Structure 1
Amino acid sequence: MAFNNHLQIAEKAVEAGVTKASLPLLSMLVLGFLGGAYISLGYLLDIRVVAGLPEEWGTLSSLIGAAVFPLGLVLIIVGGGELLTGNMMAVSIAALHKHVSVSKLINNWFWITIANFVGAIFIAYFFGHIVGLTEAEPYLHKTVATAQAKLDSTFLQSLVSAIGCNWLVGLAVWMTYGAEDIGGKILAIFFPIMGFVAIGFQHVVANMFIIPAAIFAGHFTWMDFLENFVPVFIGNAIGGTIFVSMLYWISYLKPTHNKQ
């Protein structure tokens, strides 16, 4: 199983960030839609698998759900898609290395956020609400309880939880740059994504699915969603940009950049 060393991973991350920031708007919107939809499908699979498990299983149920959730990022990395939280890492390190301007970074994050939201809403409404995959029991109870747990967190709790989330998600994407084959990329994705879901960290795109799914079922409001979106977006940005991009840029690329 071929792999790249740490410096090569950092260089590939910069290349990926440049590519992402240079995508035409139409490509950003289409791939962003797919990214939001794929993450939502992974979350929908989690709900469908876990909701009917016995309560006596306790946290084992969370582990089982977390083990199937990585489907979303696998589809994005292998099949193709743009995910905001992954771009918070890749485009950021390209910007730190002066290969992408701040305006291009903001432009990319803005349009990918919009497109991810549309993709997530599509799955929540058509599959969750119209088909009823999140609104028949026991799935409705699990959907509402999961959304409630996200919304019950304070601003600071949501922000810090989101930092932990994108520290792991950013690392998952980072490690895929170290693998040269599909099997290696899937393995690199699995453990960090399984970890953040099992822990219960907050992911801005995943929340774009689970909270609206509960809203479509008659629970909560869009203002509730917005109040959760803001701290989770900020926390995910910090997690991907500072705890992955900046620390690895300082470790592997900054010395070379200074010499140049």
Structure 2
Amino acid sequence: MKKAIITGIGGQDGAYLARYLIDLGYEVYGGYRRAVSPNFWRLNELGILNEPNFHLVEFELTDPFNILSAVNEIRPEEIYNLAAQSFVGVSFKEPFHTASATGIGALNILEAIKTVDKSIKFYQASTSEMFGKVQAVPQSETTPFYPRSPYGVAKLYAHFITVNYQESYDIFASSGILFNHESPLRGLEFVTRKITNTAAKIALKKDKTLELGNLDAKRDWGYAKEYVEGMHAMLQAKAPDTFVLATGVTTTVRDFVKLSFE
């Protein structure tokens, strides 16, 4: 039975990926931060917490000794690094924490792989925020990066250190540059869930108004459940690489609102 570690297990992608891997026959170890009160409602929603092949494990990205110990004890075939301080606005208020958890965290995992077993495959969750000030439309794997936030910069470091360790130490390390991907498990702080949640409240006469910013802003929105399948596929490829996951279609916030109220 293959074993996999998923960091950021409490998030949307972590929950969907855990469900997908368990259904494929994996033994899954979900990494979470010990310093934070864990919130595993998504895992509960998908029926994961009661799975015999699922285990929770403390996995602190900023603690290289904790990571090394966990990787050495579990000896997984695959590690999926989905954890990060992922809010752009917060990254300006907490640049040091963002750099440490989001950027150096990836390095800590790669160092553990190099030390314990270089045959462990590694997936790094990169982001379209690395493109920042867009240099080309649409973006691809070869589009130059121009991040405009501490979060984007930290993710770019994690991305390139992944490439560097793949090239320098022959580690099977791939990055997935994911554009926006949504689901019912998305947090309410994201615009798509804010819209759908408020639309439901208005339909139930529990709310009257929906306040939004720029309705003409465009986003490439995909489905998170499909995107985690792409993450797994990247580690089953013949060789490691960088892959963009996107739909190739942009939709305005205005159109998303209209669809939500239909």
TM-score for both structures, normalised by structure 1: 0.27
Greater fraction of residues in strand = 2
TM-score for both structures, normalised by structure 2: 0.27
Greater fraction of residues in helix = 1
* Greater RCO (Cα-Cα under 8 Å, separation 6 or more): 1
